[in-house]
Chain A
Amino acid sequence: MHELGITQNIVAIVTEHAKGMKVQKVVLEIGKLSAIMPDAIKFCFDICSKDTLLENSLLEIIEIPGLAKCHQCGTEIALDKPFGVCQCGSVQLDLITGEELKIKEIEIEEICV
């Protein structure tokens, strides 16, 4: 259940950047090969954001599909797990996308003057 600790990290990072303003939306990018379950993050988010600047904010998760390049023949292969076999028979795959785990952007409330 590493998602709980990860979500606590998310709340801490966003709180730091919100500088006291209420947070309306948090957008995450999570790769499908990152061993992080978006559903678990969503479950933890409501709990972890309670009584913080993030309370009741909208959580949006963009899932990045897995993509690798064969080290041997250069073919690009779509992956749903962090390993696979290329059509040339090689298992030496360099992951291009799918391991992302980041906060892409946040939207904070602004009171204009």
Chain B
Amino acid sequence: MCVTCGCSDDAEGKITNLQTGEVNHHHDHHTHTHTLPDGTVITHTHHHDEAPQIHAKIHGTTISLEQDILAKNNLLAAQNRGWFKGRNILALNLMSSPGAGKTTLLTRTINDLKQQLPISVIEGDQETTNDAQKIKETGCKVVQINTGTGCHLDASMIERGVQQLNPPLNSVVMIENVGNLVCPALFDLGEQAKVVILSVTEGEDKPIKYPHIFRASEMMILTKVDLLPYVQFDVERCIEYAKQVNPHIQVFQVSAMTGEGLDNWYKWLTEKVAMSIPV
């Protein structure tokens, strides 16, 4: 059957050219001329059932898209940003490799600041609600997002997460991303700032090994500095690497266990809140 007009192959009106051997259908739309992009002109005839295949070879239509592949995520992130802004909420995207100490830093921060700063948390992990349970023990609101096979949070997950979390007006939402130093850097969640957390039990060259995440972050928090006497980690070189990748990055050295250096982080956080939330 002809895929163009639906008529039968055996329909009347078939014209056979005995000189060329061409068989033309009674509809003339099966013999026509194409001009290819290079200027070549092709006139051809084909049997009904060949139409799509022949046309596929001869003239696909090119559509110029020039479309950003992450456009949808970026649009949702922009909406999230507006949502946070409209409620005077400071949202931070905390990123690190697994085990750098994000959850320990968060629980300590929430406990130390709970009298002055309402903080709620969106937890991202592939599986389990273990971290969310730890955060819940501080008494703050927390929602766990399990990404399953996913290696990062994206803007649509945050959109759904904040609906569940329902954070209060004039507060802070900490988004603890999935432990991963690569993928989270690519996905805007609608946060005001990205914060990368690196522990001294990792290599000091992480900033140049995983440059995208350090480039995207406003701040690097170097954690577990209480372990410096026991590990080989050159702090100065690490900071040098971080500044090479991102000259504007701020660096804090902290220990969530001993409390060392946390005052700087709390001061930064409080000032950031003051900037986000008009008095």
Contacts and interface: CB of A to CB of B under 8 A. Distances in A.
Contacts of B151: 1-2
B69 A24 contact: no
A33 B114 CA distance: 41
Contacts of A4: 149
B63 interface: yes
A35 B69 contact: no
Contacts of B4: 111, 113
B3 A83 contact: no
Contact of B69 (A6, A17, A113): A6
Interface in B147-204: 149-152, 154, 182-183, 185-187
Given A83-B211, A111-B52, A2 B186 contact: yes
Contact of B215 (A36, A83, A105, A113): A83
Interface string B51-82: 11001100111111111111111000000000
Contacts of A110: 55, 59-61
Contact of B55 (A1, A6, A109): A109
A10 interface: yes
Contacts of B186: 2, 35-36
A111 B242 CA distance: 55
B65 A17 contact: yes
B32 interface: yes
B244 A112 contact: no
A81 interface: yes
Contact of B65 (A35, A92, A104): A104
Interface in B232-246: 243-246
Nearest to B63: A106
B207 to A, nearest CB: 9
A111 B51 contact: yes
A15 B186 CA distance: 23
B74 to A, nearest CB: 11
Interface string A1-28: 1101110011001100100001011001
A50 interface: no
Contacts of B187: 2
Contacts of A6: 69-70
Contact of A91 (B73, B152, B243): B243
B211 A104 contact: no
A108 interface: yes
Contact of A112 (B59, B64, B69): B59
A107 B211 contact: no
Interface in A42-99: 81-83, 85, 91-92
A99 B258 CA distance: 41
Q: Which of A4, A17, A25, A83 has the most CB of B within 10 A?
A: A83
B212 A104 contact: no
Interface in B1-24: 3-4
Contact of B56 (A13, A14, A109): A109
Interface of A: 1-2, 4-6, 9-10, 13-14, 17, 22, 24-25, 28, 35-36, 81-83, 85, 91-92, 101-113
Given A106-B65, A108-B63, A110-B61, 11 more contacts: A1-B151, A9-B70, A25-B60, A35-B212, A82-B245, A83-B211, A91-B244, A101-B69, A110-B55, A110-B59, A111-B51
21 contacts: A2-B187, A9-B70, A13-B71, A22-B52, A22-B56, A35-B212, A83-B208, A91-B247, A101-B69, A102-B68, A103-B69, A104-B65, A105-B65, A106-B62, A107-B61, A107-B62, A108-B60, A110-B55, A110-B60, A112-B55, A113-B4
